[in-house]
């Protein structure tokens, strides 16, 4: 949402915008707000220790309710598939406020994966009045669910706008600009890993860790893994991978550091949705550690491949990319089906016409 907020702030369209954050992840949020120089008007500050989906849903809904009572907007804009997105749309519906959904129409067609994101975005669709789809495929998904065509606009994804903004700001910076990277040998091939999906908690995460342990036997690579704060992630990761010299377990990175690291990486292993969209713009092959993905465009374009949480498959596909240059070059395309960096401008033009 950051690039859209910046575009609204410099728009001559006469918009009065207010920014509300839930702060479900306080530290990670504050880093992004600081980097993009954004000051929220409303901060729900809902983060608490060991919060579960019931806590997040009720706290965010009650917080947004208070915002609605204090400042009743004409439109509420939500993005993506988080619980905040869903309850924001629900609160707007209760207050008869119109909803615009950005990144609309992504579907895995499995309500358990990703969990709870798939149901969050399905429910948000049916609470929304206009839908900003990132791709034609996303538009087709919405049409199949009965959304009217004149309510759908294909604009690309604002996450790519944010990526390009970030690349401009960090251009030319060296590893010593990012303190967590001092111990990494960037003369070797860097494998970047992220993993945090709830549906992978337990045995699947252990499989991922054991696969990484085997891959790390190649001393020509460095594996960098910013470890999510959730204890269901940290416990197996630290236990299995904590003492391997060329596996660097890091605290969660701020956004510019993570983008810089993506750019320096050779391969990316992830279960994140956003990384599947960003990496193709950087020409980085992505191995998706999930059994299904709602971002099928990257699979079809050949920039990403699904490997699931199967230990042997993760090892096999990673080693093939490391050892076979032709396979690597085929995936390392700087073709991004998710956007060209102008989604925010398109959204504001459309909202101006709708209003």
* Residue 295 a catalytic site member: no
Pairing relation of β-strands 130-133 and 98-102?
A: parallel
Set 198, 291, 310, 349: catalytic member: 198
DSSP state of 129: S
* Residue 107 a catalytic site member: no
Question: What residue spans define the domains of the chain?
Answer: 2-157+339-354, 173-331
Global confidence as pTM: 0.85
- Quick check: do 2-157+339-354 and 173-331 share a fold? yes
**pLDDT for 177:** 78
* Residue 228 a catalytic site member: yes
* Residue 291 a catalytic site member: no
| CATH fourth-level superfamily of 2-157+339-354 | Glycogen Phosphorylase B; (3.40.50.2000)
Determine the 3-state secondary structure of 269 from DSSP. strand
What CA–CA distance (Å, rounded) separates 206 from 67?
A: 42
Least-confidence region, from 3-12, 99-108, 216-225: 3-12
For the chain, where are the E strands, in sequence order?
A: 20-21, 42-43, 75-79, 98-102, 130-133, 152-154, 189-194, 221-226, 247-250, 267-270, 286-288, 304-306
Set 131, 197, 228, 346: catalytic member: 228
C-alpha separations of 65 from 44, 88, 97, 194 in Å: 10, 9, 12, 34
**pLDDT for 334:** 64
**pLDDT for 178:** 76
Determine the 3-state secondary structure of 275 from DSSP. helix
Set 7, 43, 59, 81: catalytic member: 81
Per-residue pLDDT, averaged over 36-65, amounts to 93
Phi, psi of 156 (to 5 degrees): 85, -175
C-alpha 336, offset from chain centre: 15
Phi, psi of 92 (to 5 degrees): -60, -40
pLDDT tens figures, 285-309: 999 999 988 888 889 889 999 999 9
Give, to the nearest 10 degrees, the angle between helix 2-10 and helix 343-354: 60
Instruction: Let me know: does 255 contact 35? Beta carbons within 8 Å.
Output: yes
pLDDT tens figures, 111-156: 998 899 999 999 999 999 999 999 999 999 999 999 999 999 999 9
What CA–CA distance (Å, rounded) separates 281 from 278?
A: 6
For 11-111, where are the E strands, in sequence order?
A: 20-21, 42-43, 75-79, 98-102
pLDDT band at residue 274, thresholds of 50, 70 and 90? Answer: confident
Element (H, E) at 221: strand 221-226
Query: Measured on CA atoms in the order 181, 184, 185, 189, is the torsion positive or negative?
Result: negative
DSSP state of 150: G
pLDDT tens figures, 225-239: 999 888 888 999 999
* Residue 137 a catalytic site member: no
- Tokens at 201, concatenated: 């908690």
Set 7, 43, 59, 117: catalytic member: 117
C-alpha separations of 51 from 57, 216, 340 in Å: 10, 34, 36
| CATH tag, 173-331 | 3.40.50.2000
* Residue 103 a catalytic site member: yes
pLDDT tens figures, 167-222: 998 988 887 777 788 889 999 999 999 988 878 788 988 999 999 999 999 999 99
- Tokens at 223, concatenated: 């594996």
**pLDDT for 197:** 81
What CA–CA distance (Å, rounded) separates 278 from 272?
A: 10
Query: Measured on CA atoms in the order 156, 159, 164, 165, is the torsion positive or negative?
Result: positive
């Amino acid at each position: 949402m950051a690039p859209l907020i910046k575009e609204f702030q410099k728009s001559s369209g006469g918009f009065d915008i207010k920014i509300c954050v839930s702060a479900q992840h306080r530290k990670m949020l504050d880093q992004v707000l600081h980097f993009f120089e954004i000051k929220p008007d409303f901060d729900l500050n809902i983060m608490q220790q060991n919060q579960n989906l019931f806590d997040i849903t009720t706290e965010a809904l009650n917080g947004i309710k208070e915002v609605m009572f204090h400042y009743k907007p004409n439109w509420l804009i939500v993005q993506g598939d988080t619980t905040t997105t869903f309850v924001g749309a629900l609160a707007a519906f209760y207050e008869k406020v119109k909803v615009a959904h950005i990144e609309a129409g992504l579907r895995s067609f499995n309500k358990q994966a990703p969990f709870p994101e798939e149901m969050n975005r399905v429910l948000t669709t049916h609470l929304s009045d206009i839908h900003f789809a990132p791709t034609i495929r996303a538009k087709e998904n919405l049409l199949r669910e009965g959304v009217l065509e004149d309510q759908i606009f294909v604009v690309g994804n604002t996450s790519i706008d944010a990526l390009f903004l970030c690349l401009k700001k960090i251009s030319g910076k060296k590893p010593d600009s990012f303190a967590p990277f001092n111990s990494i040998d960037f003369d070797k091939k860097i494998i970047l890993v992220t993993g945090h999906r709830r549906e992978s908690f337990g045995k699947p995460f252990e499989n991922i860790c054991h696969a990484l342990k085997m891959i790390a036997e190649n001393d020509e690579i460095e594996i960098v893994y910013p470890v999510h704060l959730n204890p269901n992630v940290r416990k197996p990761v630290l236990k299995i991978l904590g003492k391997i010299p060329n596996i660097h377990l890091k605290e969660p990175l701020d956004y510019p550091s993570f983008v810089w690291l993506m750019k320096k990486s050779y391969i990316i292993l992830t279960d994140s949705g956003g990384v599947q969209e960003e990496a193709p713009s950087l020409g980085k092959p992505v191995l998706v550690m999930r059994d299904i993905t709602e971002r099928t465009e990257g699979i079809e374009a050949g920039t990403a491949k699904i490997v699931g949480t199967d230990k042997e498959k993760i090892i096999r596909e990673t080693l093939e990319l490391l050892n076979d240059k032709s396979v690597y070059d085929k995936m390392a395309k700087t073709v991004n089906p998710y956007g060209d960096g102008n989604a925010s401008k398109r959204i504001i033009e459309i909202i101006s016409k709708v209003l």
